[in-house]
Structure 1
Amino acid sequence: MSYLEDLFSLAGRTAVVTGGSSGIGRGIATALARAGARVVLVARGREALDDTVRELTDLGCEATAVVGDLATRAGAQAAADDAAQPYGEPDVVVSSAGINLRPPMADVDAAVWDATMTVNLEAPFWFGQRFGPGMAGRGYGPLVHVSSQQAHRAFVTSSVYGVSKGGLESLARSQAEAWSPHGVTANTLVPGFVLTPLNQRLQQDPARVAALADRTLVGRNGVPADFAGAAVFLAGPASGYVTGQSIHVDGGFSVH
């Protein structure tokens, strides 16, 4: 293998990507598959999953899909078990699935709190519990979480969504503490404002979208393909000494 392949190739690896049929998750799944990984996509909607798998196989990649509902603890645990069936125990787990319920803080009720925490925080925890120990036993296993600017700063009604993402970054640090001595890394990617279906509501306000783009240093909002390089880096051997980190892929949003 060449030097770059030694650093970045995912050939022979298996990756599970939750939320892999849409938005950032789809962008990451595509990047990992094109870097050589067998990819298992986990999401609720069969149609979007099938569309993504078809797109990847047309590119010559190996991919399959698992329909799973991460909105309950039992559903997340079952989805994790199902994700190990097509290709065996995964080498890489990416938690990108999320929901973006952001009513004003005073209007947050138990249903909004429970739904947000279950999908955005509990599901990544259960996927880690399912696969982290096995990864540690094999001596290799990147855990990659997709966080948010709201984990670090409150704006555009962060509400309970920001709480869940703050918890997600803490989860990665705890996973790193537990398993990095055994070869398992745990890190989060922190997007800026990315044009995806998850934030479609905000995109209905062109002035706000333009203001968010102006806040970046590169002068534009993000797209899912912007996460390809960082995802391949975190999933592969090049990042073996990077763990417990929150890596901002945000066009300079967080420093402007």
Structure 2
Amino acid sequence: MQHAVAGNTDALTATIETLRQLTSSGDYAFYVDIAHFMADLPLEHPTTTRWLDTEDTVRTRWHRLVLDRRTTARRTEPPDDHAAPHQWGLLTSLAETPGAWVAEGPADEGRRRRATTVRELAAEGLCELADDQILQNLRDDHGHRPGWAARILPAGLLVLRYHQLHTAAVTGEPPAAPPVPAGIELTRSELEALRRVATLAPLLPGARAQALADALAQAVPGPTGKHWTIPASVDAIEAAFRLEMPTGAINSRSYHRVRREHRTGHAPLIRLTHDSPDI
């Protein structure tokens, strides 16, 4: 959209080509159509997307967004990256440890600005701020409680990656590789099974699945969207798979793959009981 607003044909062409490569499997292929519609360009290949309205109607709506943004930009500021450099810097720091809390100490002159920046990022849904209980648990060796702590959200990783691609398209420099989070790689169907367990497990007597729900909130999609990385324990995933297997939603192949690749303990179902810590 930004390239279409600016009329940057070269960058727009590069972005469309990148989108085409990322959606070559067929997943999210309609993104390529939308990019063409925004710039009011003809589709280069027949589309497989079936829109609820006619293609001309959909094209007009997406292109109207660009025209409206272009009009607004003329009245305010150039349609360039509006995020300040320190915002990208902080978001990059959070992305170095996806799923983990990054704590900042009590505010000084430099930290006050970062505290403001992290609140701005949280307001945009790009990171999550820690509550008082988490901050208490993040005290340093001297007992000092951090002024704030945050962890990046999947939307933040996506925006940061897009910013890297955008910068590379404009400058011609290769984009930096996205951060690879620690965790367990799952397919989309396996991830959906975990989400069902996280929803239903609290209804079981004595079940404690909040840690699994927290891990699901930090799941990060892979480049093609077919696999996700989740920072959950193997015990939690095995326990969830054991619950889902009798329903037919998860087969034994998924269960044994996780055991074979990541197994560290035994009796995973006990992790769902009130006699054990949260999974």
TM-score by length of 1: 0.26
Q: TM-score, normalised by structure 2?
A: 0.24
Relative contact order, higher structure (CA 8 A, sep 6+): 1
Higher strand share: 1
Q: Which has the larger radius of gyration?
A: 2
